[in-house]
Amino acid sequence: MDEPDRTLPDGYEDQLGHGALTFADRPLLTGTADLDRWQPDVAIVGAPLDINTTNKPGARFGPRALRAEADHPGAYHLDLRIEVFDHLEVVDYGDAMCPHGQSEVGLANIRQRVLEVASRGIVPVVIGGDHSITWPSVEAVAEAHGWGSIGVVHFDAHADTADRIDGNAASHGTPMRRLIESGAVLGRNFVQVGLRGYWPPAHVFDWMQEQGMRWHLMQEVWERGAPAVMADAVAEAMEGCDALYLSVDIDVLDPGFAPGTGTPEPGGMAPADLLRAVRKLALETNLVGMDIVEVSPPYDHAQQTVNNAHRVVMEFLAGLAVRRRDG
């Protein structure tokens, strides 16, 4: 393989975070040739689709807010003591096109753009958008890594395993069902954390159990603490598959911390716990893709939600950086 060529236009670097508003001030690449030339470890992909949300919309502006509005903290991870971008080459690969009012076109474009990344051995970090975007995103990663060979760890207040909602098979409440039905992910390799509240109904949990899915209710986190639950979740996720995809619905956090989301459910996780849960996964497992979804900026305040989403991605990147550094 050729050496990567990572030259930037004159003056461009100074504009990152100023005239160039990109995720974490990383360079923007726009075409596959760029990916081939640059050879990044990780590529951010925006998936600004929110028409499959059942309640409050706005997640279409998630990618824009994470690029332009998140409060940037630097990149030296205080707990892991690593300069993240010294050890991990991350680029912003722009958005998949999600034309308004047309779910299928958007989902197909997301799948295509994530595949452009994953098929090159680059780790995609997909920024939603509502949770329906996980369907094409995981399928693209599964296509690159082996259909049925990857596991999923899924943080969410909701299981998102309904069959159809209001007749919609691509709802943000159904993607996990689609992934298991298609065989992209095996039920036994699917682990959920943070479920709570009043949905889905019992028969959906029955179906989940039939698939061998495993889940950890927020009740369990409340009783045992996040570290104990995460120890189990990591162990479960690594049984029978050697690569994982991480899907984080920001509504797994309590709405006190993350008001900017479409289907908030009181009684959720604290950011300190979620960030360390993601960190643990990134340090201890082989993550080959992730998404962060359901950030709805119109309902956010002072970037509370946007910043949590940004730091979730940073923990993911920091963990990957440690693994790259330490081989």
Footprint on residues 132-191 left by its own copies (CB under 8 A): 132, 165-168, 170-171
d(CA 92, CA 114): 12
Residue 118 in contact with its own copies, rule: CB under 8 A: no
The angle that helices 134-145 and 103-118 make with each other, rounded to 10 degrees, is: 30
Residue 69 in contact with its own copies, rule: CB under 8 A: yes
* Residue 236 binds which of its own copies, Mn ion, none (CB < 5-8 A, kind-dependent): none
Closest listed residue to residue 279, CA positions, set 66, 79, 26: 79
Annotation-wise, does 79 bind a ligand? no
CA-angle at 44, arms to 132 and 248, nearest 5°: 45
DSSP state of 92: E
Nearest distance, CB of residue 87 and Mn ion, angstroms: 26
Note whether 28 and 110 are within 8 A (CB): no
Residue 25 in contact with Mn ion, rule: CB under 5 A: no
DSSP per-residue letters across 39-79: --SEEEEEE---TT-SS---GGGHHHHHHHTS----SEETT
Binding-site residue total for its own copies (CB under 8 A)? 105
Residue 36 in contact with its own copies, rule: CB under 8 A: no
Q: Which listed range, 43-51, 103-111, 113-121, 241-249, lies at the site for Mn ion (CB under 5 A)?
A: 241-249
Give the containing element (helix H, strand E) for 237. helix 226-238
Residue 281 in contact with its own copies, rule: CB under 8 A: no
DSSP per-residue letters across 267-289: S-B-HHHHHHHHHHHHHHS-EEE
Annotation-wise, does 158 bind a ligand? yes
Closest listed residue to residue 85, CA positions, set 314, 307, 326: 314
* Residue 101 binds which of its own copies, Mn ion, none (CB < 5-8 A, kind-dependent): its own copies
* Residue 307 binds which of its own copies, Mn ion, none (CB < 5-8 A, kind-dependent): its own copies
| Interface with its own copies (CB under 8 A), residue from 4, 5, 6, 100 | 100
* Residue 201 binds which of Mn ion, its own copies, none (CB < 5-8 A, kind-dependent): its own copies
Closer of 147 and 199 to its own copies (Cβ): 199
Contact set for Mn ion, span 145-164 (CB under 5 A): 156-158, 160
Measure the CA dihedral 62/64/68/69, to 10°: -30
d(CA 232, CA 106): 35
* Residue 108 binds which of Mn ion, its own copies, none (CB < 5-8 A, kind-dependent): none
Residue 46 in contact with its own copies, rule: CB under 8 A: yes
Closest listed residue to residue 128, CA positions, set 274, 312, 322: 312
β-partners of residue 123 are: 42
Determine if the peptide bond prior to 200 is cis (ω within 30°). yes
Interface mask toward its own copies for 80-99; x: CB under 8 A: -x-xx-------xxxx-x-x
Residue 303 in contact with its own copies, rule: CB under 8 A: yes
Contact set for Mn ion, span 160-189 (CB under 5 A): 160
Q: Report the sign of the C-alpha dihedral through residues 128, 134, 135, 141, in that order.
A: positive
Annotation-wise, does 254 bind a ligand? no
| Interface with its own copies (CB under 8 A), residue from 39, 119, 182, 304 | 304
| Interface with Mn ion (CB under 5 A), residue from 251, 273, 291, 315 | 251
Residue 196 in contact with its own copies, rule: CB under 8 A: yes
Annotated binding residues for Mn(2+), as ranges? 131, 156, 158, 160, 249, 251
Contact residues for Mn ion, defined by CB under 5 A: 131, 156-158, 160, 249, 251
